[in-house]
Amino acid sequence: MIDRAANGDEEAFGDLYERYLEPIYRYVYYRVPTPEEAEDLTETIFLRAWETLVMKKNTKIENFKAWIYRIAHNLTVDFHRKKKPIQMESSQMGATIQPDSPNPEIEVQKKLSEQSLNKAIEKLEETFQNVIVLRFFNKLSHAETAEVLGIKEGNVRVIQYRALKKLQTYLNEDNYE
Amino acid sequence: MSDKNLSLELAKCLEWMEKTGCGPKAAAERFPNHYQELFHLLQTVEQLDASEKPAPSQEFLSVARTRLVNRISAEKAAAQQSDVTKSRTLRHIWQSNKMGSQNASQHQPQRRFAMNWILIIGLIASVFAGGGGVAYASTDALPGDSLYPVKTMLQDMEMVFASDEKDAEMLMTQLFTNIEDMQQLAEQGRFSDILIGLKEYQSDLEAMNQLRARVGYDEAGSETSLNIRLQEQLQDCTLLLEQLQIKLKTKDQLQTQDQLHTMDQLQDRLQEAIQLTDTGNTYGPNEEPGQPDELGEPNGVGPGEPQGPEDQMPADSGNPDTGCQGDDCNTEAPGGPAEDPGKGPGSDSGSGGGGGSGKP
């Protein structure tokens, strides 16, 4: 499929896009101010991938997944370099409760807990956020995460440990507030 | 105990949980010395697993693929259109030769490639053999002067043999020269000739954008330092063009009816050139130019990073299920990391703990 895309097959690239759209969206989500910007940036990432695939035909893509994450990482850095960062509204996720929910109290509790979790993730520093999202949201292995971030697997484990500890601290602080 | 060892224990627990489907309690019990800390961290992981993951809106998802494929098709069509309209210019020969050597496209016949080079060599020979003095004299020519085409041709020829980086520098110099020429023409009141200068400017700008599309980003999609430098210089071009526009507006009342018409045309074209230059600045990601910040690449974990052998833990017991006790065991089938490029669309979106994706 990658070869077909590299030869200019838009539909093959469309298939790759559908496969990786959501994980890449999740990866950039916490790094941009609004969900709409995350959507735009996701599209731009794939457009850039297409340009690179087609324009630089001698590019050897051995691992498309790691490569597309790498582009996502670089474009997110570019995004911040060119655009003054804006503090994200503490998560717009999980803000609404369905009126027909069977157990509204549990639903409210769940939403509050999710809001608090998202707030805590947003507070994490960039590298911690990356590891949390790649490992626990996108389900990448330690080795894959290391490849995407360009660091050693051992470093991923240490960052993972520190990120979870930090997350726990933020969650506890939020519970006390 | 160091972060390194604890992080290794945590990683072991996580891998074990993924493999067996057991919960935090059973996993943490494998390391009784750090049971408390590991248990709490694993509970946080469970909370992450069960949480609602960020997901694009349904509106976006429903049109995402079509939108991207349309954008790609539009870009391809624009590139092809540009190739057709520019097929007679010397710069096109230069570009198609460079692209040809990079892409080795089978659609470009070898004969055409050879003919292009014969044409270039012929032009060089005719200029240098028949008119070295003409070539020298043309360096001061302004748009509308009889020697101006010689000047632009010589500039284009210089680029034939240069590297991409050198090409970019030369093109940028040409853009600035074009603006200087137009400023001189404005001083001399030769407003209709400014239109010729603008046409040349836009042609150079288009070549610059094509060059940036080719060399502006590395294989990982990151902007090259060359591209960043070019963007800054294009911003200067925008400013100079805006100054020229203001200068021409103040001369407006001095013109006759015919000249006023030319001036209107000129203002429109200038505005177009300014917009094109500005669009060139934001080429690539859909971003507006802004202030840089200090964000950079991930920089590892700083002091105390693990560097030595990683596996210092006791080996796992033979049967992965033996550690599961009571409610802590997950009844679902054990599975490894969920993401697999071989799976179909959406295979990535699930969370191990059962939290679905999708924004409310």
State the nearest Cα–Cα gap between A123 and chain B, in angstroms: 15
Beta strand spans in chain A (E): none
Q: What is the DSSP letter of B263?
A: H
What is the reported pLDDT for A92? 47
Least confident segment among B45-49, B136-140, B191-195 = B136-140
The pLDDT-based confidence of A58 (bands split at 50, 70, 90) is low
Q: Which residue has the higher pLDDT, A158 or A103?
A: A158
What is the reported pLDDT for B104? 44
What is the reported pLDDT for B134? 61
Least confident segment among A43-57, A152-166, B149-163 = B149-163
In the predicted model, is pLDDT for residue A128 greater than 90? yes
Q: Are B54 and A25 in contact (CB under 8 A)?
A: yes
State the nearest Cα–Cα gap between A148 and chain B, in angstroms: 11
Percent of chain A residues past pLDDT 70, beyond the cut: 79
Mean pLDDT of B33-43: 90
Three-state SS at B296: coil
Q: What is the DSSP letter of B348?
A: T
Spacing of C-alpha A78 from chain mean position: 15
Question: In whole angstroms, what is the distance from residue B349 CA to residue B257 CA?
Answer: 66
pLDDT in tens, B1-35: 577 788 999 999 998 888 888 888 888 888 888 88
Select from A124, A127, A131, A138 the least CA-distant residue to A160: A131
Q: Give A 51-110 residues with CB within 8 A of chain B.
A: 51-52, 55-59, 64-65, 67, 70-71, 73-75, 77-85, 93-96, 98
Mean pLDDT of B244-262: 69
Q: Are B44 and A167 in contact (CB under 8 A)?
A: yes
| Range among A62-66, B9-13, B300-304, B324-328 with highest mean pLDDT value | B9-13
What is the reported pLDDT for A140? 92
Check CB contact under 8 Å for A161 and B298: no
Query: Is B65 in the A-facing interface, judged by CB distances under 8 Å?
Result: yes
The pLDDT-based confidence of A153 (bands split at 50, 70, 90) is very high
**Whole-prediction pTM value?**
0.53
Check CB contact under 8 Å for A23 and B349: yes
Q: Are A71 and A48 in contact (CB under 8 A)?
A: yes
Which of A51, A139, A158 is the closest to B339 by Cβ? Answer: A139
The pLDDT-based confidence of B266 (bands split at 50, 70, 90) is confident
Q: Are B263 and B248 in contact (CB under 8 A)?
A: yes
Q: Which residue has the higher pLDDT, B230 or A84?
A: B230
Mean pLDDT of B247-267: 70
Question: In whole angstroms, what is the distance from residue A141 CA to residue A138 CA?
Answer: 9
Least confident segment among A162-176, B49-63, B241-255 = B241-255
Residue at token pair 């090409």: B167
Select from A78, A11, A82, A83 the least CA-distant residue to A50: A11
What is the reported pLDDT for A66? 87
Burial class (CB in 10 A: 0-12, 13-18, 19+), B218: middle
In the predicted model, is pLDDT for residue B287 greater than 50? no
Q: Which residue has the higher pLDDT, A26 or B270?
A: A26
Check CB contact under 8 Å for A48 and B301: no
The pLDDT-based confidence of A164 (bands split at 50, 70, 90) is very high
Which of A14, A25, A74 is the closest to B221 by Cβ? Answer: A74
Question: In whole angstroms, what is the distance from residue B169 CA to residue B164 CA?
Answer: 9
| Helices and strands (H, E) in chain A, number of each type | 8, 0
pLDDT in tens, A71-123: 898 888 888 776 654 444 444 444 444 555 566 666 666 667 778 888 899 89
Check CB contact under 8 Å for A19 and B345: yes
In the predicted model, is pLDDT for residue B338 greater than 60? no
The pLDDT-based confidence of B304 (bands split at 50, 70, 90) is very low
Q: Which ipTM was obtained for this model?
A: 0.79
